[in-house]
Amino acid sequence: MAEDLLLSANVVAASAVLILGLIVAWDAFWLTRQRSDIPQLGELKNGGFAWQSEGPHEVIRQWGNLASMAAMIALPWALISASNTSYWYGIAWGALLSLHIISLLIPKRYAITRTHLFADGQRYDWNRLRLARRQPARRIMLLRKGWGIFGPLPLGGAQNDLSVARSRILLALDTEGEWPQKNQKKTEEE
Protein backbone atom coordinates (compact mmCIF):
# COMPACT_ATOMS: atom_id res chain seq x y z
CA MET A 1 0.00 0.00 0.00
CA ALA A 2 2.83 2.39 0.80
CA GLU A 3 4.33 1.64 -2.62
CA ASP A 4 1.04 2.57 -4.32
CA LEU A 5 1.01 5.87 -2.44
CA LEU A 6 4.62 6.52 -3.45
CA LEU A 7 3.82 5.75 -7.07
CA SER A 8 0.79 8.01 -7.11
CA ALA A 9 2.70 10.90 -5.50
CA ASN A 10 5.41 10.61 -8.16
CA VAL A 11 2.78 10.44 -10.91
CA VAL A 12 1.13 13.59 -9.60
CA ALA A 13 4.53 15.31 -9.34
CA ALA A 14 5.49 14.26 -12.88
CA SER A 15 2.14 15.52 -14.19
CA ALA A 16 2.60 18.87 -12.44
CA VAL A 17 6.14 19.25 -13.82
CA LEU A 18 4.95 18.31 -17.32
CA ILE A 19 2.11 20.85 -17.24
CA LEU A 20 4.47 23.56 -15.95
CA GLY A 21 6.96 22.67 -18.70
CA LEU A 22 4.23 23.11 -21.33
CA ILE A 23 3.26 26.49 -19.86
CA VAL A 24 6.87 27.70 -19.85
CA ALA A 25 7.38 26.50 -23.45
CA TRP A 26 4.12 28.16 -24.55
CA ASP A 27 5.12 31.50 -23.00
CA ALA A 28 8.62 31.25 -24.50
CA PHE A 29 7.11 30.66 -27.95
CA TRP A 30 4.99 33.81 -27.72
CA LEU A 31 7.89 35.89 -26.43
CA THR A 32 10.04 34.92 -29.41
CA ARG A 33 7.39 36.39 -31.72
CA GLN A 34 7.57 39.91 -30.31
CA ARG A 35 10.45 41.01 -32.58
CA SER A 36 8.71 39.75 -35.71
CA ASP A 37 5.37 41.30 -34.68
CA ILE A 38 7.00 44.62 -33.72
CA PRO A 39 10.08 45.07 -35.96
CA GLN A 40 10.47 48.82 -35.38
CA LEU A 41 10.06 51.12 -32.40
CA GLY A 42 8.67 54.65 -32.19
CA GLU A 43 6.01 56.18 -34.41
CA LEU A 44 4.48 53.71 -36.85
CA LYS A 45 3.28 54.42 -40.40
CA ASN A 46 -0.36 53.82 -39.50
CA GLY A 47 -0.26 56.35 -36.67
CA GLY A 48 0.47 53.70 -34.09
CA PHE A 49 3.26 53.65 -31.56
CA ALA A 50 5.74 50.95 -30.51
CA TRP A 51 8.12 50.91 -27.56
CA GLN A 52 10.32 48.57 -25.56
CA SER A 53 10.63 48.19 -21.83
CA GLU A 54 13.81 47.50 -19.87
CA GLY A 55 14.48 45.00 -17.10
CA PRO A 56 13.57 47.39 -14.23
CA HIS A 57 10.27 48.25 -15.96
CA GLU A 58 9.42 44.54 -16.11
CA VAL A 59 10.19 44.14 -12.39
CA ILE A 60 7.69 46.93 -11.69
CA ARG A 61 5.20 45.41 -14.12
CA GLN A 62 5.52 41.83 -12.85
CA TRP A 63 6.20 42.27 -9.11
CA GLY A 64 3.15 40.24 -8.07
CA ASN A 65 3.98 37.38 -10.42
CA LEU A 66 7.60 37.36 -9.27
CA ALA A 67 6.58 37.06 -5.61
CA SER A 68 4.15 34.24 -6.32
CA MET A 69 6.75 32.38 -8.42
CA ALA A 70 9.26 32.60 -5.57
CA ALA A 71 6.67 31.11 -3.20
CA MET A 72 5.84 28.41 -5.74
CA ILE A 73 9.51 27.39 -5.91
CA ALA A 74 9.74 26.98 -2.12
CA LEU A 75 6.36 25.43 -1.21
CA PRO A 76 6.66 22.02 -2.91
CA TRP A 77 9.65 21.03 -0.77
CA ALA A 78 7.45 20.53 2.30
CA LEU A 79 5.11 18.34 0.26
CA ILE A 80 7.98 16.38 -1.28
CA SER A 81 9.31 15.29 2.10
CA ALA A 82 5.85 14.63 3.54
CA SER A 83 4.72 12.51 0.56
CA ASN A 84 8.06 10.79 -0.01
CA THR A 85 8.15 12.06 -3.60
CA SER A 86 11.42 12.02 -5.53
CA TYR A 87 13.34 15.23 -4.96
CA TRP A 88 14.15 15.37 -8.70
CA TYR A 89 10.62 16.60 -9.31
CA GLY A 90 11.25 19.48 -6.92
CA ILE A 91 14.47 20.34 -8.74
CA ALA A 92 12.75 20.20 -12.14
CA TRP A 93 9.86 22.32 -10.78
CA GLY A 94 12.26 24.94 -9.41
CA ALA A 95 14.30 25.01 -12.63
CA LEU A 96 11.20 25.50 -14.80
CA LEU A 97 9.86 28.25 -12.55
CA SER A 98 13.28 29.91 -12.59
CA LEU A 99 13.21 29.91 -16.40
CA HIS A 100 9.74 31.41 -16.25
CA ILE A 101 10.95 34.14 -13.87
CA ILE A 102 13.74 34.97 -16.31
CA SER A 103 11.21 35.19 -19.15
CA LEU A 104 9.13 37.61 -17.07
CA LEU A 105 12.14 39.90 -16.66
CA ILE A 106 13.21 39.97 -20.31
CA PRO A 107 12.50 43.40 -21.85
CA LYS A 108 9.27 43.32 -23.83
CA ARG A 109 8.09 45.10 -26.97
CA TYR A 110 4.66 46.71 -27.10
CA ALA A 111 2.75 48.33 -29.96
CA ILE A 112 -0.53 50.18 -30.28
CA THR A 113 -2.40 50.41 -33.55
CA ARG A 114 -5.91 51.63 -34.27
CA THR A 115 -7.23 48.05 -34.12
CA HIS A 116 -4.91 46.12 -31.80
CA LEU A 117 -2.56 46.12 -28.85
CA PHE A 118 0.56 43.97 -29.18
CA ALA A 119 1.90 42.81 -25.82
CA ASP A 120 3.80 39.73 -24.64
CA GLY A 121 3.79 38.26 -28.14
CA GLN A 122 -0.01 38.39 -28.28
CA ARG A 123 -2.37 40.57 -30.29
CA TYR A 124 -5.41 41.95 -28.45
CA ASP A 125 -8.41 43.49 -30.17
CA TRP A 126 -9.40 46.81 -28.54
CA ASN A 127 -13.03 45.75 -28.14
CA ARG A 128 -11.80 43.05 -25.72
CA LEU A 129 -9.86 45.50 -23.52
CA ARG A 130 -10.59 48.42 -21.24
CA LEU A 131 -8.49 50.73 -19.07
CA ALA A 132 -8.58 50.01 -15.36
CA ARG A 133 -10.30 52.77 -13.37
CA ARG A 134 -7.37 53.07 -11.00
CA GLN A 135 -4.08 53.39 -12.84
CA PRO A 136 -0.75 52.58 -11.16
CA ALA A 137 1.92 55.28 -11.23
CA ARG A 138 4.65 53.53 -13.24
CA ARG A 139 2.74 51.34 -15.70
CA ILE A 140 -0.49 51.21 -17.66
CA MET A 141 -3.11 48.75 -16.46
CA LEU A 142 -5.55 47.34 -18.99
CA LEU A 143 -8.18 44.73 -18.18
CA ARG A 144 -9.35 41.93 -20.46
CA LYS A 145 -13.13 41.94 -20.64
CA GLY A 146 -14.77 38.83 -19.26
CA TRP A 147 -11.71 37.64 -17.33
CA GLY A 148 -12.64 39.17 -13.96
CA ILE A 149 -9.74 39.32 -11.51
CA PHE A 150 -7.66 37.10 -13.81
CA GLY A 151 -7.59 39.66 -16.61
CA PRO A 152 -5.07 42.37 -15.73
CA LEU A 153 -2.72 43.26 -18.57
CA PRO A 154 -0.06 45.67 -17.32
CA LEU A 155 2.18 47.49 -19.80
CA GLY A 156 5.67 48.58 -18.78
CA GLY A 157 8.16 51.06 -20.12
CA ALA A 158 9.77 54.43 -19.61
CA GLN A 159 7.48 57.26 -18.50
CA ASN A 160 7.82 59.12 -21.82
CA ASP A 161 6.81 56.01 -23.76
CA LEU A 162 3.94 55.29 -21.38
CA SER A 163 2.62 58.85 -21.79
CA VAL A 164 2.49 58.50 -25.57
CA ALA A 165 1.05 54.98 -25.26
CA ARG A 166 -1.66 56.15 -22.83
CA SER A 167 -2.80 58.85 -25.26
CA ARG A 168 -2.93 56.33 -28.14
CA ILE A 169 -4.82 53.82 -25.98
CA LEU A 170 -7.43 56.45 -25.17
CA LEU A 171 -7.81 57.20 -28.88
CA ALA A 172 -8.03 53.50 -29.78
CA LEU A 173 -10.69 52.88 -27.13
CA ASP A 174 -12.66 55.94 -28.28
CA THR A 175 -14.48 54.68 -31.38
CA GLU A 176 -15.16 58.21 -32.58
CA GLY A 177 -11.67 59.58 -31.90
CA GLU A 178 -9.37 60.95 -34.61
CA TRP A 179 -6.49 58.50 -35.06
CA PRO A 180 -3.19 60.23 -35.89
CA GLN A 181 -1.57 59.38 -39.22
CA LYS A 182 2.14 59.68 -39.78
CA ASN A 183 2.92 62.04 -42.66
CA GLN A 184 -0.66 63.32 -42.66
CA LYS A 185 0.52 66.82 -43.67
CA LYS A 186 2.31 65.43 -46.74
CA THR A 187 -0.85 63.60 -47.79
CA GLU A 188 -2.95 66.77 -47.44
CA GLU A 189 -0.41 68.82 -49.44
CA GLU A 190 -0.27 66.28 -52.30
pLDDT digits (tens, 9 = 90+) for 146-187: 887 778 888 888 899 999 999 899 888 886 556 666 554 443
pLDDT digits (tens, 9 = 90+) for 34-85: 888 888 898 988 888 999 888 788 887 777 788 888 888 888 888 887 887 8
Chain centroid to Cα 68, Å, comes to: 15
Q: What residues contact residue 163 under an 8 Å CB cut-off, 6+ apart?
A: none
Residue 142 has pLDDT above 70, yes or no: yes
B/e letters for 110-128, b = 16+ CB within 10 Å, e = fewer, are: bbbbeebbbbbbeebebee
Q: Quick one: CA dihedral 50, 55, 59, 65, positive or negative?
A: positive
39-54+107-190: CATH topology = PH-domain like (2.30.29)
Residue 94's nearest CA partner among 20, 31, 30 is: 20
Per-domain residue ranges for the chain? 1-32+58-106, 39-54+107-190
HSE-up of residue 160 (Cα within 13 Å, Cβ side): 3
The Cα 52–Cα 108 span in angstroms is 6
Question: Is the pTM higher than 0.95?
Answer: no
